[in-house]
Structure 1
Amino acid sequence: MLNIPLIGLKADQFRHPLDLEATNTLKQLPGLDLMVRQLLGQLGEQFFMLENLASSVQVGENQLPHLHQLLVEACKTLDLEVPQLYVRQHPMPNAYTFAMRGKQPFVVMHTSLIDLLTDEEVKAVIGHELGHLKCEHGVYLTLANLIVLAAGQISPLGTVLAQGLQAQMLEWLRCAEFTCDRAALLATQDPRVVASVLMKLAGGSPTLAPKLNVDAFLAQARAYDDLSSSELGQMLKQAQTAQLSHPVPVLRAREIDRWASSKDYESLLARSGSVCYDGETKTKGGWRNW
């Protein structure tokens, strides 16, 4: 299904507020962004390119063309240049992306994840990973890891400081996942598709996936909200999620369901195809990451 192309879409227009705050803080660290890109970018990109070519199937017009078409559609919707897409044999449902210098970005999807999903749900996963590229999360994740590593070398307060920074990094990672779920919604423009992906990640299998109920899962998400609304519930929820790199699936489903009903989401779709320059709205074409 073709969706409304969001020409001129900027990353900050769909970032989760907590992700935006944390990312802006990282951007204020002088010189580190450039250092990570220059020192680690080329090495990392070359390493992963060789790894992907050696151990995965590269998707293209002549290889798994239906997946390539989903990638192209998602990129057009999110106004992003098309990265490389690879499919890797793996029993754990997962997808990931990497781009440090922006020259060789790629997305990898595991076969076990593709087996769980419909085509629209695959597009949602692709959109989620494109959100990481659009927001340049790879750079800031590396920065966060470097900060934690450096802090750990400082004695005697280094260990305590590193633990604090590690907690902050994980919190930022969880916020970044909320942002990329929004990118998944923009790519599919159907919140039920995104919620279905999260439901299948929580408790899906190739045999169970067609039988799962999205409405029941969203009701489960609301029940999770109700149980964790008390002071004790908040404490238990924080303790359960403090060491996680991703928010729990029901929380992600609730967040995307709420954002799909927001004026921010509606305005992004309503303003599609136009970009504002100095107060003047003009039509702008092309796939560019601004």
Structure 2
Amino acid sequence: MNGFKTTMLLAALTALFMALGYTLGGAGGATIALLVAGGMNFFTFWNADRIVLSMHHAREVDDATAPEFVGLVRALARRANLPMPRVYIVDDPSPNAFATGRNPENAAVAATTGLLDLLTREEIAGVMAHELGHVRDRDTLIMTMVATIAGAVSMLANVGLFFRGGDGRGPGWAGILAVLVAPFAAMIVQMAISRTREYGADRAGAEISGDPRALASALAKLQRGASMIPGATAARIPAAQQLYIVPGRSGDSLFSTHPDTDNRIAALAAIAQEMGMTSPAPSAPPAPSASVPVTRRRSSALDPLA
């Protein structure tokens, strides 16, 4: 169902873009709009991961610099039948995580130091499984395409405000209305696709980690933490909010990049019941920061992942 919704919403966004091009320039305008969108998608397809990681100043880690964190991601990737992604840490006290990359073979996952300091190992496993769910379902590519088309709609709308036809006249009242409405419509569709993909990644994370209760617990902690400590990158680039597992603010609305966190937790509780889990999520000592090599004993709840 999530896949069907995403397909329909993506089709609607593309149709909106082409309709705006047609309104401003007829059949030729629609064709030009489609070519522009294709060119932008081609560029972001090959460069999105580098752009995202660079704007977060993310540093890549390995078995020597963050052995437990990297080992946990490797075990989860193996469970999900995915290639080992590149692993990054972002030096940011705001607790959050994201995934990027055009396909599973070129994927990267990242967590902030704030997340690694805040969550237990089980909760970190749930969060990274959620991000691997995005990778498995190719959400990183889908959201890149969506962001590109939505951005192209806004760009075309801005051009349309100063558009003059061959007779020197502007687009007319209908065109002006389309120019003003299109960016808001594109933003709403973009947000709807993002919310749909988050529910899908939550389910995937529950399946990969094997414990939806730990992911639910992590979401509650992350929402509180991200609300109290805004992310540095999101403060500079608000559009980055849609990358993260939780937004700075929670609440379902047309303009929300994520579903309400309480609703996501309720959905995970239902998944736990489907999996026959009725007891509270297991507790564990806080996970040490992965910014330095870790020598503490692993939590027994995660030993099977090793």
TM-score with structure 2 length normalisation? 0.61
- Matched residues in 1 for 2:66 and 2:144: separation? 32
Specify the alignment match of 2:270 in structure 1: 258
Secondary structure of the 2:48 match is helix
Query: Which amino acid counterpart does residue 120 of structure 2 have in structure 1?
Result: T
C-alpha distance 27-36 of structure 1, shift in aligned 2 (>3 A): farther
Cα separation, partners in 2 of 1:162 and 1:81, compared to 1, 3 Å: same
Deviation at 1:187, TM superposition (A): 2.1
In structure 1, the residue matched to 2:153 is 151
2: CA distance between counterparts of 1:240 and 1:170? 10
d(CA) in 1 for partners of 2:83 and 2:11? 23
Report how far residue 150 of structure 1 moved. Answer: 3.3
* 8 Å CA contact retained: 2:41, 2:148: no
Is 1:197 paired with 2:199? no
Provide the secondary structure at the position in 2 that maps to 1:247.
coil
1:173-203 alpha-carbon deviations (Å, 9 max, x no partner): 1111111111221122112111111121233
SS of alignment partner, residue 114 of structure 1: helix
1:100 counterpart SS class: coil
Q: CA deviation at 1:90?
A: 0.4
1:84–1:105 contact (8 Å) kept in structure 2: yes
CA radius of gyration, larger in: 2
Residue type matched to 1:261 in 2? Q
| Structure 2 counterpart of 1:21 | 4
Of 164, 181, 195, which residue of structure 1 is paired with 2:202? 181
The percentage of aligned residue pairs carrying the same residue is 24
Q: CA deviation at 1:146?
A: 2.9
**2:85 pairs with one of 83, 86, 89:** 83
CA contact (8 A) 1:151 1:161 kept: yes
Write the distance in 1 (CA, Å) between the matches of 2:77 and 2:272. Answer: 20
Q: SS in structure 1 opposite 2:44?
A: helix
Q: Secondary structure at the match of 1:58?
A: strand
Does the alignment pair 1:95 with 2:100? no
CA distance in structure 1 between the aligned counterparts of 2:260 and 2:136, rounded to whole angstroms: 23
- 1:129 shift after superposition: 0.9
- Match of 2:181, as an amino acid? V
SS in 1 for 2:256: coil
Equivalent in the alignment of 1:168: 189
Measured at CA, do residues 139 and 57 of structure 1 come closer, stay the same or move farther in structure 2, by a change above 3 Å?
A: closer
Most deviating of 74-83 and 145-154: 145-154
Could you tell me which amino acid in structure 1 is paired with residue 192 of structure 2?
Answer: E
Query: Residue 143 of structure 1: CA displacement?
Result: 2.2
Does the aligned pair in 2 maintain the 1:97–1:108 contact within 8 Å? yes
Q: Are the aligned partners of 1:37 and 1:139 in contact in 2 as well (CA < 8 Å)? A: no
Q: Indicate conservation of the 8 Å contact 2:99/2:131, yes or no.
A: yes
Contact 2:126 2:205 in 1 (8 A): yes
Alpha-carbon deviation of 1:257? 1.4
Cα 1:49/1:198, change in 2 over 3 Å: closer
CA RMSD of superposed structures (Å) = 2.9
Please say if residues 38 and 101 of structure 1, whose CA atoms lie closer than 8 Å, have aligned partners that are also in contact. no
Deviation at 1:255, TM superposition (A): 0.9
Decide whether aligned partners of structure 1 residues 179 and 194 sit closer, same or farther in structure 2, where only a CA change above 3 A counts.
same
**Does the CA-based 8 Å contact 2:100-2:107 persist in structure 1?**
yes
In structure 2, the CA distance between the partners of 1:128 and 1:35, relative to structure 1 (3 Å rule), is farther
> CA offsets, 1:219-271, max 9 Å, x none?
xxxxxxxxxxxxxxxxxxxx852221111211100011113334xx68xxxxx
Q: Indicate yes or no: 2:47 matched with 1:43.
A: yes
Distance 1:34 1:73 in 2: 37
Counterpart CA distance in 2 for 1:245 and 1:120 is: 26
Distance 1:46 1:200 in 2: 29
Question: Aligned equivalents of 2:91 and 2:217: distance in 1?
Answer: 23
1:61 corresponds to which residue?
63
Structure 2: any 5+ residue segments left out of the alignment? 16-33, 161-174, 227-250, 277-306
Tell me the TM-score normalised to structure 1 length: 0.64
Q: Contact 2:41–2:145 at 8 Å: present in 1 too?
A: no
What's 1:243 paired with? 255
Mapped to 2, the partners of 1:94 and 1:106 lie a distance apart of: 15
> Against the structure 1 CA distance between its residues 139 and 187, is the aligned structure 2 distance closer, same or farther, given a 3 Å change threshold?
same
